[in-house]
Structures are given as structure tokens and as C-alpha cells.
């Protein structure tokens, strides 16, 4: 089982020696960011800063900084547990015999526990303390000024809740939040995000949009906020699916939204149509600063929290960062779903160095000429994969996670006059390399073995790869200790 709340996870990590308490006073202006970045890149422990200058509550950092900790937080031993579970639910075969019927009912039974469960306010730890009016002071919450040219202090792990003004469909997203003053937050939601769409619809209707932001949520909920789900799939349904039990939620005090009952802190407010403030610059997960732009400014009317709350945040910047395990989880979890859209795919890899959206390495079981180009087009048409800038297609015998192997194939198997596809299309809002914002050039590399039907007509055909003699390799395996190596 995943952990029901953040603090129970932190206690477990501390028992295992994988959490370090920092009792010395630390400055959220640059100092915390420098500490966390060093510890993360060294593969170090989760950190709990107990004395953050200017704040009234502790700050948990680097909680998901290793694959081990994220897996533990989600109650998993490997990311394959969720991808296999999703793959099993997606299988279209009808059950055969008693065993098949039992397995089918087992799958249905597991789904019963997935939908979120509403609880009363007195059962919600996050509403033990309620602050309104002049008592609202966001400066009590530790926000980070991480990099020297950042435009201010930011909350980097606040889970933003909105709902579509017409359909009422809920969205949970993870966006950076700039603290403008004691009661105002900048909402950096990008044009491809559902919350941006909710705001646009509300503005056209001349309505204000209710927003609730949760900090220190249950780990499965925090992960689900990062997942690239289609707009009609509830993130809380997905969080319950991962957690293996229903997520408890409670009605907000001042806005018509629900939030995790076991979160640490929730801030509530309304976005007025057209109210914007300059937001940024910000040292983002791309490793570069994103420029200042106008974004909606949220006025906070209410803060609810536990009696002794803490805040969770992350540091982003030049990879590797805490984004790494979160991105790898998404890559593995969504493989079965991507295969439904593009069944040609055997496996895929989204390198962290590419920010998980700049490059996709895809392996296929090639069946016909130009199969690789067909898969490129299909991947670019698959939901948020449309933002991918580079797609490298390799044969199924290539390990897509071995970047040295992939580079060897891509650099050696490619005639760029024939095997390079160049196109234009949408790119990530944060992409700095495109010559104009929101769209730019893309490339696909066919690094598969080439067939005569694709125009490869050289004598002898495509050459064989160099491989060891199997018999000799087995002999050397047996005698390895004799060599004294």
C-alpha cells in the first residue's frame, strides 16, 4: 500500500536512515536550493528543514529524489507493478473457464476501491486550523528563491485544483506558483494544460474561477498531479488506482472544490477574469531560465492546515533533479496506454536529459518498409507526446534504456538524406530553442535496419552486427575464474 499521507512516509524514511533533519536555520533565498541540489545530485537522503528563515513550518525536500524513495512512497517494488496492472485491465480477451472468470472479477473488484471518498470536515486533518481574512499570510509558508536570476520566491509542489465551468470536470495539475505577496499567487499554467483551458472558458463567460492548492498531499496524489492524463480522466481516480485504496477528500471552506483530506496545507481563492501579473523568470526543469510572462494572479481568501503542518517542495534546474524519478514513473506507467494508441511500439524511453519531452526513443518490431516513419507520425499524434521534438526509432533488439546502444544504432544506421524526417508542430510552452513560442521544428530518425523495399539495394544487403561465438562465450563463462581476471 502507498502511504496515506506525507508525514507517515517521512517517519518511515527516517527509521530507515533515508531522511536527514536539518535543525540549523536555513535561508530559503538561494541557500536551501543549493543544499538540495547538491544532495539530490549525490543520491543523498530526503531532507527535513526544521528552521526555515521567515517561515513558521518545516520544509520537506528531496522526498522523491531517488527511485527507491518514490517507489516506497507509492507502495511499489518496481514501476512495472503499475504498468502490468494497467496492461492487465486493458487486455480485451474474454475470460476462459473458471480461472478466467475469477481473474476478471478480481480486476473489477480492485476498481471498486478506486473512486475518491468524501469525508466530513471534522474527519479531515487538513482542516484542523482555518485561517481567513487578515489571518491569511502566505509568507508563513516556506517558498523558495532557488536560482540567482529567479523573479521571486516560488512554491514548486503545490497541487492546483480547478474544474471546467461548464462540464464540472475536475482537474489536478502541478504548476509552479510565484508568491507575489501575502495573499497573491501567480498561476503558471501553460497553454497545453487543462487548468489553462478552464480559466479561458471562465473568462469568456465573464466568471471568476475557483482554485484550491494543496501542499504535502498523499504521495499517490502528488504523483498523479504530474501524470499526463487526458482531460476526461480524473487524477484522483488514477491516484486511487496507484494507491490501491480510495483517496479521502473534503469540501473546501470557501470554494466549490474538494481537496485531499490528509494534505498538510490548502490555500483557497478565486481568479478574477483578466487579472494578470508578471510571473518569472524561473530556473526551470529544462535547466534554463524561462522568461517573465503575464499569468493569472490568484487572490487567497482562506488557508486550512493541520495543527503542526509542514510543506513539501522540490528543486528543479539542470538535470538530474527530483523530476527524474517522477518522469521515469510516468514513462513506465503509461507504456500500456501508449501501446493502445500505437500498438507497433515494443518499448520506449524518455531520457531525463531531454526533460522527458524533448526526445523519445522507440523500439519496434519492423514489419514493412517505412514502418519507422509510420510510428513517428503516430507518436506525434498521441496526446501530450505531440510535444516531442526528437523521435529515434530502433529495432526491437535494441535496449531503449541503454543510451550508448541507442547512440551506436542512431549514429551508425542512418543515411540522413533518406532516414531523417523533419517536420513542424507544437512544442512545450517552456521550450527555449524554438524560434517562436509554442511551435517549432521536429525531427525523426529511422535507426532501424534498412530493407531493399526502402531503397537499400547494396550488394549483400544490410550487414550483420558483430556478435561473439556462442560456444566460445559459454566456454569463457565456465573458465572465467581460471583466468584470474
Domain containing 434 equals 342-454
Closest by Cα among 350, 342, 352 to 379: 342
Give the mean model confidence (pLDDT) for residues 23-34. 98
- Distance (Å, whole) CA 196 – CA 202: 10
In a domain? residue 238: yes
Confidence of residue 48 (pLDDT cuts 50, 70, 90): very high
Highest mean pLDDT among 98-112, 235-249, 356-370: 356-370
Paired with 302 in beta bridges are 132, 268
Give the mean model confidence (pLDDT) for residues 53-77. 97
pLDDT in the model for residue 30 = 98
292, pLDDT greater than 60: yes
pLDDT in the model for residue 105 = 45
Cβ atoms of residues 180 and 280 within 8 Å: no
% of the chain exceeding 70 in pLDDT: 95
309, pLDDT greater than 50: yes
Residues 367 and 306 grouped into a single domain: no
pLDDT in the model for residue 93 = 54
- Distance (Å, whole) CA 65 – CA 323: 8
In a domain? residue 64: yes
pLDDT in the model for residue 233 = 78
Residues 356 and 249 grouped into a single domain: no
Residues 303 and 224 grouped into a single domain: yes
89, pLDDT greater than 80: no
Residues 46 and 169 grouped into a single domain: yes
Residues 308 and 350 grouped into a single domain: no
Count structural domains, the chain. 2
% of the chain exceeding 90 in pLDDT: 84
Confidence of residue 101 (pLDDT cuts 50, 70, 90): very low
Q: Is the backbone peptide bond immediately before 113 cis, with ω within 30 degrees of 0?
A: no
In a domain? residue 483: no
In a domain? residue 285: yes
Residues 180 and 222 grouped into a single domain: yes
Confidence of residue 29 (pLDDT cuts 50, 70, 90): very high
Between 357 and 40, residue with greater pLDDT: 40
444, pLDDT greater than 90: yes
In a domain? residue 432: yes
Residues 303 and 361 grouped into a single domain: no
Q: What is the CATH number of the domain that holds 391?
A: 3.40.1670.10
Cell of 404: 550508448
Confidence of residue 313 (pLDDT cuts 50, 70, 90): very high
Please give the order of strands across the beta sheet that includes 248-251. 117-118, 248-251, 258-260
Confidence of residue 111 (pLDDT cuts 50, 70, 90): low
Positive or negative: CA dihedral 374, 379, 380, 381 = positive
Give the mean model confidence (pLDDT) for residues 390-400. 98
Of 5, 194, 284, 323, the catalytic one is 284
Q: Is the backbone peptide bond immediately before 320 cis, with ω within 30 degrees of 0?
A: yes
The b-or-e profile of 364-399 (16+ CB within 10 A means b, else e) is bebeeeebbbbbbebbbebebbebbbbbbbbbeebe
Residues 212 and 131 grouped into a single domain: yes
Positive or negative: CA dihedral 351, 354, 356, 362 = negative
Residues 366 and 250 grouped into a single domain: no
Of 290, 312, 334, which one is at a domain's C-terminal end?
Answer: 312
In a domain? residue 332: no
Give the mean model confidence (pLDDT) for residues 88-112. 55
Cα-based distances in Å from 229 to 218, 224, 235, 424: 18, 9, 7, 24
Residues 151 and 238 grouped into a single domain: yes
Confidence of residue 228 (pLDDT cuts 50, 70, 90): confident
Confidence of residue 107 (pLDDT cuts 50, 70, 90): low
Paired with 393 in beta bridges are 362, 446
Output the average pLDDT for the chain.
93
Give the mean model confidence (pLDDT) for residues 320-348. 93
Give the mean model confidence (pLDDT) for residues 219-225. 96
Cell of 274: 483578466
16, pLDDT greater than 50: yes
pLDDT in the model for residue 192 = 81
Residues 297 and 358 grouped into a single domain: no
Among the residue ranges 112-116, 166-170, 255-259, 421-425, the one predicted with the least confidence is 112-116
94, pLDDT greater than 70: no
312, pLDDT greater than 70: yes
98, pLDDT greater than 60: no
pLDDT tens figures, 188-217? 988 888 899 999 999 999 999 999 999 999
Q: Is 446 a catalytic residue?
A: no
Residues 124 and 253 grouped into a single domain: yes
- Distance (Å, whole) CA 371 – CA 367: 7
In a domain? residue 334: no
In a domain? residue 445: yes
- Distance (Å, whole) CA 375 – CA 381: 10
Q: What is the CATH number of the domain that holds 204?
A: 2.30.110.10
Cα-based distances in Å from 403 to 58, 198, 348, 434: 39, 39, 12, 25
Amino acid at each position: 500500500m502507498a502511504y496515506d499521507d506525507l508525514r507517515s512516509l517521512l517517519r518511515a524514511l527516517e527509521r530507515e536512515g533515508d531522511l536527514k533533519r536539518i535543525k540549523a536555520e536555513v535561508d530559503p533565498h538561494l541557500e536551501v536550493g543549493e543544499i538540495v541540489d547538491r544532495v539530490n545530485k549525490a543520491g543523498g537522503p530526503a531532507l527535513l528543514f526544521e528552521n526555515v528563515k521567515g517561515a513558521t513550518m518545516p520544509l520537506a525536500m528531496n522526498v522523491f529524489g531517488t527511485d527507491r524513495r518514490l517507489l516506497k512512497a507509492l507502495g511499489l517494488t518496481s514501476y512495472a507493478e503499475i504498468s502490468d496492472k494497467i496492461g492487465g485491465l486493458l487486455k480485451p480477451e474474454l475470460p476462459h473457464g473458471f480461472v478466467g472468470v475469477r481473474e476478471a472479477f478480481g480486476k473489477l473488484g480492485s476498481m471498486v476501491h478506486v473512486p475518491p471518498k468524501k469525508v466530513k470536515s471534522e474527519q479531515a486533518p487538513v482542516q484542523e486550523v482555518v485561517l481567513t481574512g487578515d489571518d491569511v499570510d502566505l509568507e508563513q509558508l516556506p517558498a523558495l528563491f532557488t536560482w540567482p536570476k529567479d523573479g521571486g520566491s516560488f512554491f514548486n509542489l503545490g497541487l492546483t485544483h480547478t474544474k471546467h465551468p461548464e462540464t464540472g470536470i475536475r482537474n489536478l495539475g502541478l504548476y509552479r506558483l510565484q508568491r507575489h505577496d501575502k495573499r497573491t499567487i501567480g498561476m503558471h499554467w501553460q497553454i497545453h494544460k487543462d487548468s489553462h483551458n478552464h480559466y479561458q472558458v471562465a473568462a469568456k463567460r465573464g466568471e471568476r474561477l475557483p482554485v484550491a492548492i494543496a501542499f504535502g498531499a498523499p504521495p499517490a496524489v502528488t504523483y498523479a498531479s504530474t501524470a499526463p492524463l487526458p482531460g476526461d480522466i480524473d487524477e484522483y481516480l488514477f491516484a486511487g488506482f496507484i494507491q490501491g485504496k480510495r483517496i479521502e477528500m473534503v469540501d473546501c471552506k470557501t470554494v466549490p472544490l474538494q481537496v485531499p483530506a490528509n494534505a498538510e496545507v490548502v490555500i483557497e481563492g478565486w481568479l478574477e477574469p483578466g487579472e494578470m501579473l508578471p510571473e518569472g523568470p524561473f530556473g526551470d526543469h529544462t535547466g534554463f531560465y524561462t522568461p517573465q510572462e503575464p499569468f493569472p494572479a490568484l487572490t487567497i481568501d482562506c488557508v486550512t492546515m493541520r495543527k503542526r503542518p509542514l510543506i513539501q517542495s522540490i528543486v528543479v534546474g539542470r538535470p538530474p533533479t527530483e523530476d527524474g524519478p517522477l518522469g521515469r514513473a510516468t514513462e513506465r506507467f503509461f507504456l500500456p496506454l501508449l501501446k493502445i494508441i500505437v500498438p507497433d511500439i515494443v518499448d520506449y524511453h524518455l531520457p531525463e536529459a531531454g526533460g522527458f519531452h524533448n526526445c523519445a526513443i522507440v523500439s519496434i518490431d519492423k514489419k514493412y518498409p517505412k514502418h519507422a516513419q509510420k510510428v513517428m507520425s503516430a507518436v506525434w499524434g498521441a496526446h501530450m507526446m505531440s510535444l516531442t521534438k526528437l523521435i529515434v526509432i530502433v529495432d526491437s533488439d535494441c535496449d531503449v534504456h541503454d543510451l550508448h546502444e541507442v547512440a551506436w544504432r542512431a549514429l551508425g544506421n542512418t543515411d540522413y538524406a533518406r532516414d531523417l524526417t523533419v517536420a513542424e508542430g507544437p512544442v512545450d510552452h517552456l521550450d527555449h530553442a524554438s524560434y517562436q513560442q509554442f511551435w517549432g521544428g521536429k525531427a525523426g530518425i529511422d535507426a532501424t535496419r534498412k530493407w531493399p523495399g526502402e531503397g537499400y539495394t547494396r550488394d549483400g544487403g544490410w550487414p550483420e552486427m558483430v556478435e561473439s561465438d556462442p560456444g566460445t562465450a559459454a566456454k569463457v563463462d565456465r573458465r572465467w575464474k581460471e583466468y584470474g581476471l
